[in-house]
Amino acid sequence: MATPTARTLQECRKRGWLPAVVERYCSYTRRRHDVYGFGDVLVTVPGQSGAVLIQCTGGRNGAARVTKIVDECREAAIIWLTAGNRVFVWTWGALQGQARW
């Protein structure tokens, strides 16, 4: 089974975008850390200025991720967005037997 990050990378490449995983894993704490607290995948979209940070998740966690960005990462998100960049939250899960975002 593919992880939400793997699915996101696959979808980005399918669209002709240039993705890079920016989430890091700390072996000491055994936890994953997102860039600025909310970014798993950094994407450059051809023909568009700025970059995109994608927070990718599975199941029904999308709303919780949006809330986290707004509540816990507000300052970093505002700086990121006012610099001309974008933030996407992609949620992967089964919808009538098919993976959708």
> For 27-85, how does the pLDDT look when each residue is reduced to its tens digit (9 = 90+)?
787 888 889 999 999 999 999 999 999 999 988 889 999 999 999 999 999 999 999 99
Identify whether 61 is part of a domain.
yes
Identify whether 3 is part of a domain.
no
Whether pTM > 0.95 for this model: the answer is no
Identify whether 7 is part of a domain.
no
Identify whether 73 is part of a domain.
yes
To the nearest 10 degrees (0 to 180), the angle between helices 74-82 and 62-72 is 90
Q: Do residues 101 and 90 make contact, with C-beta atoms less than 8 angstroms apart?
A: yes
pLDDT at 101: 47
Q: Tally the domains of the chain.
A: 1
Identify whether 23 is part of a domain.
yes
Q: For 42-52, what is each residue's pLDDT tens digit?
A: 999 999 999 99
Provide the residue range defining the domain that includes 83.
Answer: 18-93
Identify whether 2 is part of a domain.
no
